[in-house]
Chains A and B, each alone.
Chain A
Amino acid sequence: MRKIDKKVADSYFKTRTTLIMIYLAIGFVVSYGCVLFAEPLSNITFNGFPLHYYMGAQGAVLTFIILLFVNAVVSDRVDRKYGIDEARNESIGSGKTVDH
């Protein structure tokens, strides 16, 4: 156990939180945004679909899935950059939980 600079820990939290806000904003635009502007989008056709319908039936869901995988991969990179070792996490995680 060693102490690390609070600034380092804060920048870890800030990086993760900023990324999450970006992902949530993208998720918001492809779902709520496309519903709000459904009428103008319906004039555009994509692969046989009017665009508003495509976004509701496929586009939004595909974006959600991609965002979740991007988050998982990028978060692992951020963890590595800050020297976090998943094997240590695992043993700490199982020791710290309350099993009562």
Chain B
Amino acid sequence: MDTQFLVSLAFILGTFGLYIGIAIYNQAKATSDFYVAGRGVPPIYNGMAIGADWMSAASFIGMAGTVMIMGYDGLGYIMGWTGGYLLLTFLMAPQLRKYGRYTVPEFIGDRYGSSTARLIAAGATIIISFTYSIGQMSGSGVVIGRLLEVDYRIGTIIGACLIAFYAALGGMKGITWTQVAQYIVLIVAYLVPVIFMSLQLTNNPAPWLSYGTVIEEMRALDREFGISEYVVPFTEGTKWQFLALMFTLMAGTAGLPHVIVRFYTVSTMKAARWSGAWALLFIGLLYLSAPAYAAFSRFILMSQVAGSPIDQLPAWTTSWVDTGMLQVADTDGDGILQWQELQIANDIVVMATPEIANLGVFVIGLMAAGAMAAALSTAGGLMIAISAALSHDIYFRSINPNASDKKRLAVGRWSIVIASLAAGLIALNPPGAITQIVAWAFALASGSFFPALLLGVWWKRSNAQGVIAGMLVGLSVTLGYIFAAKYGGFTILGIIDTGAGVFGATAAILANVIVSLATKPPSKKIQEEVIDLRYPEQMTYRDGEVWIDDGNDVPPSR
């Protein structure tokens, strides 16, 4: 056992203890605690919780690497995964908060007055959140496995048990405050190494300002090596693929149930707007830093590794060559390692930075704790979403509406335990590339929830038949395009499977509009409830008139 192992272990165990302590302290006692944290979370903390919920192991470990390898084309992920918060905060979150339900399927069911719509939405929530959580489980397995020096499968099981324990115990209330702590851990862990790297390379402690000069130097190196330049656009795919991917990620963000439900935990529409703003600020700290990581790492690889004699590579490269994440092969046998002879895995960019910049054992330990925090917090939020769909939308609303509070909490807790362990088991043998599956989850969300919520909030004429047709058509078109593009070689304008959401969302909106117009309008009560969403809580729309509640007298009876 070396020092590094003990330090990392101390960081991980210390943060785990903190998370469990928070969950026990904020244990859910009532159903509203369990589903929506009692609806009293202050916006700034809700912003941090959204940030931790949002930023997964893939964002933490993989995104900088994606940007490094794809160059400009990787920036579609940066803009897509942040721009979604504009759609969410401007068009949906405050209105959904005013409507005041526990879950997203419940909003769809009640707004459209249809149990069928609620059940379809509950099914879509479970499918989307479950596939997404498989990625988180295997991510936590990789980190725990590398740290404790055990097989990654044992790491996955440890991670799944931990999530099952604290999500089941604390419910949404426990998860929210745990996520606040996890956000702080993960953002500190992400920023410390990149700030040191910036100091070493440019003598400037602000990587966001300083990496422009590095990009400039890289352009010269690119020309010298005769490779396609880092900043040149559309080298990996067409411009339409870039735009389609960006749309899919934005609309998918605005339609992911585990993110939307976070806006139910605040007290008012105003608090929902502020939550969205704080959330994107906290998320932006990581997303603005990822391209800096990418630029610094690529620069170091180009200037210190490529072009050196193969037997005199820097010391830190050895351990990464051993793991297979970095491949060096002097194929032309001239004794010099050319850039073209280097093969780099995405994950190396963030995880190797502490070693490249020589930051010592504490920063490496911190980094491991940060990656764990990212995986655990996202998985926790996903488990709550799955459990709410099972125990509330399906069990309570359709199977046993007379269930007691105690019984419903028990069903909620057990569905978390079962879902975590099931996701953990599948993650032992993940079906194909995880990043691919995550991209599909976004495409599915943008083809199902995004159109249903957008029209549900903004178009009172949309009805039950419309939303059922919209969700089914949207899901089929998205899945159909994914398979046609992935396995059939069929593409439109060079748009591949990861951009499928643009077709799914368009088809779903068209189907919803056409079917709604061809069938009877929704009841007067539902239409009034939709108009009511235009105004703040204090104003109520009723019978073509608007009432303001100034607290002076009793409300007139209906």
Partners in one complex: yes
Interface residues of A (CB under 8 A from B): 1-6, 8-9, 12-13, 16, 20, 23-24, 27, 31-32, 35-36, 38-39, 42, 46-50, 52-54, 56-58, 60-62, 64-65, 67-69, 71-72, 75-76, 79, 83-86, 88-90, 92-94, 96-99
B267 touches A90 (CB 8 A): yes
How far is it, in angstroms, between the C-alpha of A14 and the C-alpha of B280 when the chains are bound? 26
B277 touches A89 (CB 8 A): no
- Counting CB contacts under 8 A, is B544 at the interface? yes
How far is it, in angstroms, between the C-alpha of A65 and the C-alpha of B273 when the chains are bound? 12
B71 and chain A: residue at smallest CB distance? A53
A5 cross-chain contacts in B, Cβ below 8 A: 546
Q: How far is the CB of B295 from chain A (nearest CB, A)?
A: 9
A52 touches B79 (CB 8 A): no
Looking at chain B's contact residues, the main secondary structure is: helix
Interface residues of B in 48-79 (CB under 8 A from A): 67, 72, 75-76, 78-79
- Counting CB contacts under 8 A, is B89 at the interface? yes
A93 touches B212 (CB 8 A): no
B552 touches A2 (CB 8 A): yes
A72 touches B548 (CB 8 A): no
30 contacts between A and B (CB under 8 A): A1-B550, A1-B555, A2-B553, A5-B546, A9-B534, A12-B534, A23-B86, A27-B86, A42-B231, A48-B212, A52-B231, A53-B215, A56-B72, A56-B79, A57-B75, A57-B78, A58-B208, A64-B83, A65-B281, A68-B280, A69-B277, A71-B273, A71-B277, A83-B548, A85-B538, A88-B538, A93-B100, A93-B269, A94-B39, A99-B32
B213 touches A48 (CB 8 A): yes
User: Which of these, B72, B90, B232, B536, contacts A23 with CB under 8 Å?
Assistant: B90
A50 cross-chain contacts in B, Cβ below 8 A: 215, 231
A62-B284, A84-B536 known; A53+B75 contact, CB < 8 A: yes
B210 and chain A: residue at smallest CB distance? A48
B72 and chain A: residue at smallest CB distance? A53
Interface residues of B in 268-326 (CB under 8 A from A): 268-270, 273-274, 276-277, 280-281, 284, 287-288, 291
User: Which of these, A2, A12, A31, A76, contacts B270 with CB under 8 Å?
Assistant: A76
B397 and chain A: residue at smallest CB distance? A100
B538 touches A98 (CB 8 A): no
User: Which of these, B39, B212, B273, B534, contacts A49 with CB under 8 Å?
Assistant: B212
How far is it, in angstroms, between the C-alpha of A12 and the C-alpha of B281 when the chains are bound? 28
Known A53-B72, A54-B212; further 18 A-B contacts with Cβ < 8 A: A1-B549, A1-B556, A2-B550, A4-B539, A9-B534, A9-B539, A35-B242, A50-B215, A52-B231, A56-B72, A57-B67, A58-B208, A62-B284, A85-B538, A89-B268, A89-B537, A92-B538, A97-B39
B79 cross-chain contacts in A, Cβ below 8 A: 31, 35, 56, 60-61
A3-B545, A53-B215 known; A92+B537 contact, CB < 8 A: yes
B556 cross-chain contacts in A, Cβ below 8 A: 1
How far is it, in angstroms, between the C-alpha of A12 and the C-alpha of B536 when the chains are bound? 10
B269 touches A89 (CB 8 A): yes
A68 touches B276 (CB 8 A): yes
User: Which of these, B90, B214, B270, B535, contacts A20 with CB under 8 Å?
Assistant: B90
A3 touches B547 (CB 8 A): yes
How far is it, in angstroms, between the C-alpha of A94 and the C-alpha of B97 when the chains are bound? 11
How far is it, in angstroms, between the C-alpha of A88 and the C-alpha of B535 when the chains are bound? 14
How far is it, in angstroms, between the C-alpha of A9 and the C-alpha of B536 when the chains are bound? 10
Interface centre among B536, B549, B550 (most CB of A within 10 A): B536
A48-B212, A65-B284 known; A98+B101 contact, CB < 8 A: yes
User: Which of these, B90, B239, B549, contacts A92 with CB under 8 Å?
Assistant: B549
A4 cross-chain contacts in B, Cβ below 8 A: 539, 546-548
- Counting CB contacts under 8 A, is B492 at the interface? no
User: Which of these, B212, B242, B288, contacts A61 with CB under 8 Å?
Assistant: B288
B211 and chain A: residue at smallest CB distance? A48
Q: How far is the CB of A94 from chain B (nearest CB, A)?
A: 6
Q: How far is the CB of B531 from chain A (nearest CB, A)?
A: 9
Q: How far is the CB of B73 from chain A (nearest CB, A)?
A: 9
- Counting CB contacts under 8 A, is B216 at the interface? yes
A16 and chain B: residue at smallest CB distance? B534
B82 touches A64 (CB 8 A): yes
A38 cross-chain contacts in B, Cβ below 8 A: 72, 233-234, 239
User: Which of these, A20, A31, A47, A86, contacts B209 with CB under 8 Å?
Assistant: A47
How far is it, in angstroms, between the C-alpha of A2 and the C-alpha of B273 when the chains are bound? 27
Q: How far is the CB of A12 from chain B (nearest CB, A)?
A: 7
A68 touches B268 (CB 8 A): no
User: Which of these, A52, A56, A86, contacts B78 with CB under 8 Å?
Assistant: A56
Q: How far is the CB of A34 from chain B (nearest CB, A)?
A: 9
User: Which of these, B274, B545, B549, contacts A72 with CB under 8 Å?
Assistant: B274
How far is it, in angstroms, between the C-alpha of A26 and the C-alpha of B320 when the chains are bound? 43
A1 touches B78 (CB 8 A): no
A67 and chain B: residue at smallest CB distance? B86
How far is it, in angstroms, between the C-alpha of A8 and the C-alpha of B430 when the chains are bound? 57
B87 cross-chain contacts in A, Cβ below 8 A: 24
- Counting CB contacts under 8 A, is B422 at the interface? no
A61 touches B78 (CB 8 A): yes
A13-B534, A47-B212, A56-B79 known; A1+B100 contact, CB < 8 A: no
B270 cross-chain contacts in A, Cβ below 8 A: 72, 75-76, 79, 86, 89
Interface centre among A42, A62, A68, A76 (most CB of B within 10 A): A68
B280 touches A65 (CB 8 A): yes
Interface centre among B86, B239, B267 (most CB of A within 10 A): B86
B212 touches A1 (CB 8 A): no
Q: How far is the CB of B512 from chain A (nearest CB, A)?
A: 20
B67 cross-chain contacts in A, Cβ below 8 A: 57
Closest 4 CB pairs of A and B: A48-B212, A97-B100, A56-B75, A9-B546
